[in-house]
Structure 1
Amino acid sequence: MTVKIPIEFSNELIEIIVQQVLNTLDEQPQNPEPINDLPPYPTRKQVKKVLRIGDERLNQWIDGGLKVIPFGKETRFDREDIRAFLTQLKI
């Protein structure tokens, strides 16, 4: 059996709650970009781990213009190229 009880909040109470949430969010430290955690020339594995993406997404980025640096059998990236590419995607 389900019992539904309508609850009504006054506008004043809603405003107080909203203000408290906003104040709490302002006090939270801002997380720096995860790109800053990458080494200057990360491998595919490092990029995927730090940015929390998979092979498919990374391959889409490469197909979309993300520059790669061939390094022997590995593929590396320039951290600043990744930053510029992601900034371009947000526009």
Structure 2
Amino acid sequence: MTVNVPIEIDDQFTELIVQQVLKQVNENEAKDPLASELPPYPNRKQVKRVLKIGDDRLNDWIAHGLLTIPFGKELRFDREDIRSFLDQQKV
């Protein structure tokens, strides 16, 4: 047996939900520069610029396990690897 119950959602309620979701997305982007500024496979210069760190700190992260991707003469990083590494460092 199937019962169909129509559900009507008020336009004001829908708009309220949309506004709350947009607010949360904007707050998350503001908190996480990796999500909005770093390309998927940034080079050293891009990582240092966005995260506002120097060569010493980046080299230290690499020495402590941050994965790198050899790309010709330069190193690249996976944005998700950086995020995971930083999340592990917070613990």
TM-score (norm 2): 0.66
Residue 77 of structure 2 is matched in structure 1 by: 77
Residue 35 of structure 1 is matched in structure 2 by: 34
Q: What are structure 2's unaligned runs of at least 5 residues?
A: 1-25
Runs of 4 or more off by more than 6 Å in structure 1?
A: none
The code of the aligned residue for 1:49 comes to R
Amino-acid identity (%):
65
Compare the two structures and name the one with the higher helix fraction: 2
The code of the aligned residue for 2:33 comes to P
Asked which structure has the greater CA Rg, the reply is: 1
- How many pairs are equivalent? 63
Per-residue deviation, 1:70: 0.3
Q: How does 1:1-91 map to 2 (within 5 A)?
A: 30=27, 31-36=30-35, 37-91=37-91
Q: What are structure 1's unaligned runs of at least 5 residues?
A: 1-28
- Supply the RMSD in Å over aligned alpha carbons: 1.1
Per-residue deviation, 1:90: 0.2
C-alpha distance in 2 between matches for 1:44 and 1:34: 16
Per-residue deviation, 1:32: 3.2
TM-score (norm 1): 0.66
C-alpha distance in 1 between matches for 2:31 and 2:45: 21
Q: Indicate the SS of the match to 1:70.
A: strand
